[in-house]
Amino acid sequence: MSLAQRRILLGVSGGIAAYKSCELVRRLRDLDAEVRVVMTEGATHFVSPTTFQALSGQAVRVSLWDAQAEAAMGHIELARWAERILVAPASADLLARLAHGMADDLLTTLCLASAAPLYLAPAMNQQMWAHPAVQANIATLRQHGAQLLGPAVGDQACGDVGSGRMLEPHELRDALVASFGDRSLAGLKVLVSAGPTYEDIDPVRFIGNRSSGRMGFAVAEAAAQAGAEVTLVAGPVSLATPAGVAQRVDVRSAAQMHAAVLAAAQADIYIGAAAVGDYRPLEVSAQKLKKHDGGELTLRLGENPDILASLSAQTAHPFLVGFAAETHDVASYAQGKLRHKGLDMIAANQVGGGLGFEAADNALTLYWADGAVELPRTSKAELARRLIAHVAERYRATRG
């Protein structure tokens, strides 16, 4: 990854997440980006301009009324200089002012005066984020073409838990990198399934599997970074919706995932990264099953519908990408699934050895009718980006 010679204007508004933006400047500078920082007056109460000046190697501007800079129309020069404007953190106040086209400080003036794509990384208390006034401003800003990065769900500085956390610096950096780079899925709709399914036995027990959802969420994020409109159907996982994903549908069982995927199947590409339970108990007890000493418990299981097979049976169906997680004979099982399920491509992964389920890393071999490629071990985020590049290439080659 490189951002060499890329010009990024980082706007910092008043919020405690401003401290994370210091780290963001470092991450951008690591990739050789040119970074200039503009702060609101509020932001200076959280972090000193001197900190950003030291990290970016550039003078930091705060005031619109800087006589020396404005002698040469400094705000217009900055607005023209920027290739991307990222406001991180974007406070509720800043979002409101931007939504209403106000230009009452340097940062809002620059955002109005620049033709550069505007990225906003909101950060605020979860109650504030949920407020209808904030949501209305967000809708307006989206209409005006601003792109929202986050917010994430999680612990907040105020002690609350919920939606409103600023994305982490590396996530914001990756979004900026992607904004310059691979747009190979621009204009396409991509549907991704992720995570496990849970098949209930009784009100307290279920049959599940070890999928964490990390691989599928990384795929959804990479597809969004490549410009796709992404719908993510997620099994029961505890992961925040990745940046840029347009829609998320949460499900629990294989039957629910089957229904949710088929309902959203008006997509150009479907990527099935979910570990869907093959079987479900035929009877789900309404009451907790009691233990009988020395006795055996027999569960009668019925087969779940196969989501990929259902899609491939449709006359007009998306470009289909399956996954195969195997402990042995990976290549032959994966190629068998490619044929039997009528897929365009399959991503095979070996289970075990710190790869596959739950792990941070993975390795894949991609197979299609007349080709294959190895994607060696790396982080799921990086692997997902490489997978998406191959999916885009095969999609263009076959459906172009």
Restricted to residues 140-199, the positions that interact with ligand PMT (CB under 6 A) are 193, 195
DSSP string of 144-204? TT-EE--PEEEE-TTS-EEEEEPPPHHHHHHHHHHHHS--TTTT-EEEEEESB--EESSSS
Question: Of 91 and 335, which CB lies nearer to ligand PMT in the complex structure?
Answer: 335
Question: Of 47 and 243, which CB lies nearer to ligand PMT in the complex structure?
Answer: 243
Number of residues binding to ligand PMT, judged by CB under 6 A: 28
Residue window 217-256: x/- pattern of binding to ligand PMT, with contact defined by CB under 6 A = -------------------------------------x--
Q: What are phi and psi of 127, to 5 degrees?
A: -70, -40
- Least Å distance, CB 142 to ligand PMT, is 30
Residue window 317-356: x/- pattern of binding to ligand PMT, with contact defined by CB under 6 A = -----xxxx-----------x-----------x------x
- Least Å distance, CB 277 to ligand PMT, is 7
Residue 289 DSSP symbol = P
SS3 state of residue 67: helix
How many angstroms separate the Cα of 137 from the Cα of each of 129, 147, 179, 247, 329?
11, 13, 23, 19, 54
Residue 44 DSSP symbol = G
Residue window 189-208: x/- pattern of binding to ligand PMT, with contact defined by CB under 6 A = ----x-x-------------
Instruction: Count CA within 13 A, CB hemisphere, residue 156.
Output: 21
Parallel/antiparallel/unpaired status of strands 361-368 and 147-148: unpaired
Given 32, 41, 155, 358, the residue binding ligand PMT (CB under 6 A): 358
Nearest to 173 by CA among 381, 363, 358, 327: 381
Parallel/antiparallel/unpaired status of strands 269-272 and 206-207: unpaired
Long-range contacts of 237-241 (CB under 8 A, 24+ apart): 237/194, 237/195, 237/196, 237/211, 237/212, 237/213, 239/195, 239/212, 239/213, 239/214, 240/152, 240/153, 240/154, 241/153
272 binding ligand PMT? (CB under 6 A):
yes
357 binding ligand PMT? (CB under 6 A):
yes
- Least Å distance, CB 107 to ligand PMT, is 39
304 binding ligand PMT? (CB under 6 A):
yes
- Least Å distance, CB 30 to ligand PMT, is 27
- Give the H/E segment covering residue 366: strand 361-368
- Least Å distance, CB 380 to ligand PMT, is 6
Question: Of 224 and 276, which CB lies nearer to ligand PMT in the complex structure?
Answer: 276
Residues contacting 178, CB < 8 A, separation 6+ = 225, 226
Question: Using CB under 6 A, which of the segments 30-38, 138-146, 178-186, 212-220 binds ligand PMT?
Answer: 212-220
- Least Å distance, CB 202 to ligand PMT, is 22
Active-site residue, selected from the candidate residues 158, 161, 204, 369: 158
212 binding ligand PMT? (CB under 6 A):
yes
SS3 state of residue 355: strand
Given 39, 275, 384, 392, the residue binding ligand PMT (CB under 6 A): 275
Catalytic site includes residue 111: no
Given 273, 375, 381, 383, the residue binding ligand PMT (CB under 6 A): 273
Binding site for ligand PMT (CB under 6 A): 193, 195, 211-216, 254, 272-276, 278, 304, 306-308, 322-325, 337, 349, 356-358
* Active site members: 158
